[in-house]
Amino acid sequence: MINFSLPDKKTIAQWRFRKNTKARKKLYGKMARMLENSVPIKNALTDLKKRRLSQFSENDAQAQAFSDWTQRMGSGENFAKALTGWVPSDEQSIISGGEASGRVAGTLINLIGVLEAKTKIKSTIVKALTYPSVIFIGLCVILAVFGGFSIPMFLDAAPNIQLYGVGAFVASLTGFFYENLFLIFGFLLVVALVFQLSLNRWVDGLRVKVDRFGPWAIFSMLHGVSWLISFSSLIQAGVPVKDALKQTSLYANPWLKARINAITQRIGDFNLGEAMSRTGYDFPDKEVINDLATYSQYSGFDEALKSIADEWLVESLESIEATVKILNYIGLILGAAVIILLGLGMASIGSQIEAHITQGF
């Protein structure tokens, strides 16, 4: 017998807080300003909690977060550790690096930039996937409606007719979608779930080549840009390169962790760019690796790294937006082709039914 229990109040609050990127950005900004004015972290949290409770109830997600953080810090945990469960792991890793370097305020300010960059990337990807998905689902439903209702109503006028040509093809195609619509959607859902699992867990071998194509390339770009921005924020906070690599790998998924660990193993014998090049993963990106191999030899590397991350973010967004346009055009062409096919098919079926009835008389 399976035991099922509803999530408790704290779990729900943690989920709500993790999903509220806007609220976390505001919080990081407030805390950064307070820390810059020499307010200790625990005192800042206590003050924020009081102000929050003056406006909202104790069930408020942020109020619960402040309460949990202050309690855990009172038990001896540092700020980053106290955030466990409340913020995404990559944010926790960046804050942990800021604490280790003693530059929490600056790290929180950098983290706001990281969140803004990720928001831009995710919104662009959502736009890339939404329109083609809606077009595809809509076309499947339209084909099913024609196969289950429109064409059978036509054929009622000539129940014994044997269709041929375009009419027969459209009748068979739409009938297939009508009879198997839920099976098709179920299959696509399973494929999507398997694909989603493969993104994080398929690490080596053929995956290195697959990362250059299609949705895997977008995944690689998304995580590469996000990681480089996070890594850059740690370097700017004064964290040494090897320590920054270890920090970003702490909470990374298996795909990202394998690439970061491969770079970490080569740091010491080679500079950052050369270490990345020798992993064989082409992570985060070939052009970025070449740039880092050059700038790693000179002073001002932290500023150069930030510049490279910002430039790559802009280029990635432009690349994804170009992909969006291509997918939109494909969706429009596919939709127009299906509508034309249905029009030709219905016209063919109509003429064949008319001929069949005429011959009957």
Compute the CA torsion angle 252, 269, 221, 118 (nearest 10 deg). 50
Nearest to 348 by CA among 200, 155, 130: 155
How far apart, in whole angstroms, are the C-alpha atoms of residue 141 and residue 136? 9
Q: Which two tokens stand for residue 254?
A: 């298996």
Share of the chain above pLDDT 90, in %: 37
**Which of the pair, 352 or 126, is modelled with greater confidence?**
352
Q: Give the mean pLDDT of 163-170.
A: 91
Asked whether the predicted pLDDT for residue 293 surpasses 60, the reply is yes
In the chain, what percentage of residues exceed pLDDT 70?
A: 98
The 10s digit of each residue's pLDDT in 227-279 is 888 888 788 877 888 888 988 887 788 999 999 999 999 988 888 889 999 99
Model confidence at 6, pLDDT cuts 50, 70, 90, reads low
Residue with tokens 């200790």: 40
Q: 254 near 200, Cβ under 8 Å?
A: yes
Helices (H), the chain: 9-19, 21-36, 41-53, 61-74, 79-82, 89-101, 104-145, 151-155, 165-201, 207-210, 214-236, 241-249, 254-266, 272-277, 286-295, 301-360
What is the spatial distance between Cα 172 and Cα 163, in angstroms, rounded to a whole number?
Answer: 10
Distance CA 360, CA 158 (A): 10
The pLDDT score that the predictor gives to residue 3 is: 52
pLDDT at residue 187 tops 70: yes
Cβ 49 vs Cβ 57: under 8 Å: no
d(C-alpha 296, C-alpha 292), whole Å? 6
* Cβ-proximal residues to 259 (8 Å cutoff; 6+ apart), any chain: 279, 281, 283
Query: How many residues does the structure list for the chain?
Result: 361
pLDDT in tens, 206-236: 888 888 887 788 888 888 888 888 888 788 8
Q: DSSP character for 186?
A: H
**Mean pLDDT for the chain overall:** 87
In this structure, the number of other CB atoms found within 10 A of the CB of residue 77 comes to 14
- Residue 1's pLDDT band, with cuts at 50, 70 and 90, is very low
More confident residue, 103 or 260: 260
Mean pLDDT over residues 165-177, rounded?
93
Mean pLDDT of all residues in 345-351: 91
Does the pLDDT value for residue 147 go beyond 60?
yes
User: pTM for the complete prediction?
Assistant: 0.73
Task: Give CB contacts under 8 A, 24+ apart, made by 179-182.
Answer: 179/147, 181/140, 181/141, 181/144
